[in-house]
Structure formats: structure tokens, C-alpha cells
DNA sequence: AATAACTTTTGACCTGGATCAAAAAATCAT
DNA sequence: ATGATTTTTTGATCCAGGTCAAAAGTTATT
């Protein structure tokens, strides 16, 4: 991959670890740049996940299907990794689908390269541990926000968490993310 | 710490990584065995968390206080690590308290030793990454179980998740964990 | 054992948000 | 552009679970 495109993702890594020139080179060699147009299915639940995507620009949705309806698990935007976590790490099937809500540019690493990097660069293990810690904190906040809060408070929390992208996402996707109905969310939005 | 007591925790590590004799020795040297009687406050929100506890036997609760009431974030029992995650990792204050719901025996590692182990044993980084992955999966399941489920289904999911300990925990603590009222939980339990 | 201090259960009532239905608005395809 | 499809809004009704209150049961203290 052209080394000039890697600045952003390297900056992301360097929030957590120092990148040696050797590791930078290994990363740049292994990452593949990919563009998806809006509405593309990037990963399906009936395949094992073999790739992890780092979003440079765009917006993806991770969802599963319950009673025939798509339920949003979460959204991912710029500077975040996206994959089907259990499927990727344990190389088995899981319930999640991933699609693009906007035209999206990604860096893509396949599972063999990930394993290589973890096996040969301890700092990659550290990066993964620390960045997962950050994600963990967000999950705990989300769990807190889902108990003991009204639908309106849930929506407000959502707008804070996804402040710069909440207006790019359709009503139905947001409502299933929050665990409320479309109708209720529509009324909440109307009332101010 | 006496090396004979470490069998269980070593077995836990070895679910994820291979332990070299050197690492075993470092762990055994640094871990301190601690016993808490029931009802002891193990960590308070007004201190920075400096220790991580691995439960050998017993039951701990992680909670925070909202509107003067204790809200259970989660429970931890045998073979699990307990700490105030963000407080421990970032050495800053966070909202969580930890107390013992039963007499509890733990292995205790302080933050300096943790840092030493992470700095000197890449396999510890890997262990942390992989075991966090497991915890992550549980959180995702919990989030799913909290949306689109009735109070009864939430309680059933709780009983499955904490199958061998759900009867050891008081009503109020369970209901705040689930985000329902005590009264509702009492009625659910009564009805069969 | 008696008293005090929690914890759980039971009852009566009320409300936030679900459900069902259909109109209005926005987006897409030819 | 024009009709077709999808998304959002609005309305009417209903019920799961919240709130408040008080009784019953448990556990701890002297």
C-alpha cells in the first residue's frame, strides 16, 4: 500500500504505542486500501470473518437479524476498527453482518497478517489491549445508559456518543440500536 | 506467596497463553494472597484503584451510586479478575466501588507489578488481550439482552449468565443489575 | 428472647412507551 | 419528471412495569 496514505492510521496507533520503522513498514506492506460504495454488504453472518477494517472515511453499521428485522449493534466511523469480533478472533461463525451507510474508505488487514503482527510485535498486543480498554469503557457507559433511563435520555446519550454522525443515520437504525421503536424515536425528535 | 496456592490461577492463564517457569515465578513472587470477610468494602470511588484481584473463592460486586442508591454494574466470582478498570489502567478516579458479598479469597497484584509484567512479558499482553475479548463478548450479549426483552427474559438471561451464583445474591442487587425494580423482580420470582 | 434494622412480598394505581394503522414525506428507479 | 418504494410522522389504544405504601419475613444487635 502506498505509504503516504498511512499517516492517519499510524497516528491512531501512536495514541497507544510507539511505532518502530520496521513495524510501520510491516503494517504498510500488509494493509490493503479498499473503497465501498454506500449500501454494500461488507461482511455476512454466513461466512467466517477474515478481515478487519480500519475506517479512514465513512460510516459502517454492525447489525444482526432478529425475528426478520435488522437490529443495530453499533455504528463505526472514522478512525475505528470494524470486524465481527468473535468470528474474527476465533475463526468461527457469528451472528453479525456489516454494511456501509455511506461511501467508505478503509484499510484492510486479513487475519493471517494480524496473527503475524501479534506474533512478531509485542507492541501490537499492547496496542490491542489498550484500545480494547477504551472500547470497554464505552460499552460500560452504554449499559449504564440503557438501565434507568427514559427513551429520551437514551437518545440524548446516543447523540452525545455519536455527536458528529447522529444526523447521518436513519431513524430505524438508531431506534434498534437504542432498543426503542421507530415511532417513539420519531416523537422524541419532533418534540423540540 | 506460597507456590502451592497458585495452581488455579496458573490454570486460568494457561487457557490463553503458555506460562514459562520464569513468568510463573515472577507471578508467584508478586501476587499476594488476601482474604476478605463478607460485606467488606474492597475499593472505594474516592481512591485511585491500585490493585487487581483474582478471585479464588467467593463473590464480589462492582457498583456505583446514583441518586443515593447503589447500582450493581456486575458481579464477579471464582476465576475472574476484579478491579475498577479505568481507574486502574489510567490511574485516575472513577465511579466504581467494590465490596464482598461473601467471604472471599483473592490473589492480589498491584499496579506497579502489573506494569512490570506487561513491560517484560509480551505473553502477559496477549493474555490480557484475549481474556478481554472474552469479557467483551459477554458485554455484547448483555447489551442485546437488555434491548427488546421483557423483565422476565432479562431475569432468565441473568440466571443463565450467573447460573451457579444467582441464588447467592440479594434481590435489590440483582434488580439494579438488570435495570428493573425490586418489586417487579419479586413478582417475577413468585410466579413459578 | 426482644428489639431494631433491613429485605422481600403484596396490593392499588398510573404512565411511558409498545402496538396497530394509516397518512405524509422523502428517496429511488425508469 | 413520474410513479414506486421506502422512511418518517401522526393518531388511537393498550399493557408491562414503574411508583407509592404498607405488611410480612429475615437477619443482626443487645
- A123-182 per-position pLDDT tens digit: 999 999 999 999 999 999 999 889 989 999 999 999 999 988 888 899 999 999 999 999
Specify if A98 maps to a domain.
yes
Specify if A102 maps to a domain.
yes
Specify if A20 maps to a domain.
yes
Give me chain A's average pLDDT, please.
93
CA B188 – CA B192 distance, rounded (Å): 8
Domain of B93 in residue numbering reads as 3-147
- With CA of B191 and C1' of each nucleotide, the nearest comes out as C9
- Flag if A129 and B133 touch (Cβ within 8 Å): no
Specify if B31 maps to a domain.
yes
Q: How far is B47 from chain A (nearest CA, A)?
A: 19
Q: For chain C, which bases have at least one atom within 7 A of a protein Cβ?
A: 7-12, 16-21
- A8-39 per-position pLDDT tens digit: 899 999 999 999 999 999 999 999 999 998 88
A:B CB pairs within 8 Å: 82
User: In CATH, what number is assigned to the domain containing residue B135?
Assistant: 2.60.120.10
> What total number of domains does chain B contain?
1
Amino acid at each position: 500500500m502506498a505509504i503516504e496514505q498511512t499517516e492517519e492510521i499510524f497516528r491512531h496507533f501512536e495514541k497507544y504505542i510507539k511505532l518502530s520503522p520496521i513495524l510501520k513498514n510491516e503494517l504498510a506492506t500488509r494493509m490493503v486500501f479498499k473503497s465501498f460504495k454506500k449500501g454494500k454488504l461488507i461482511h455476512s453472518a454466513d461466512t467466517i470473518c477474515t478481515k478487519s477494517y480500519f475506517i479512514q472515511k465513512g460510516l459502517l453499521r454492525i447489525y444482526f437479524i432478529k425475528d426478520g428485522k435488522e437490529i443495530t449493534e453499533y455504528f463505526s466511523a472514522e478512525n475505528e476498527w470494524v470486524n465481527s469480533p468473535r468470528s474474527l478472533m476465533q475463526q468461527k461463525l457469528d451472528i453479525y453482518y456489516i454494511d456501509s451507510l455511506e461511501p467508505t474508505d478503509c484499510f484492510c488487514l486479513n487475519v493471517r497478517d494480524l496473527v503475524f503482527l501479534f506474533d512478531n510485535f509485542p507492541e501490537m498486543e499492547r496496542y490491542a489491549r489498550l484500545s480494547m480498554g477504551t472500547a470497554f469503557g464505552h460499552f460500560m457507559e452504554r449499559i449504564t445508559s440503557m438501565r434507568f433511563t427514559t427513551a429520551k435520555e437514551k437518545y440524548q446519550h446516543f447523540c452525545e456518543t455519536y455527536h458528529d454522525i447522529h444526523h447521518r443515520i436513519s431513524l430505524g437504525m438508531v431506534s434498534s440500536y437504542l432498543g426503542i421503536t421507530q415511532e417513539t424515536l420519531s416523537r422524541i425528535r419532533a418534540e423540540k
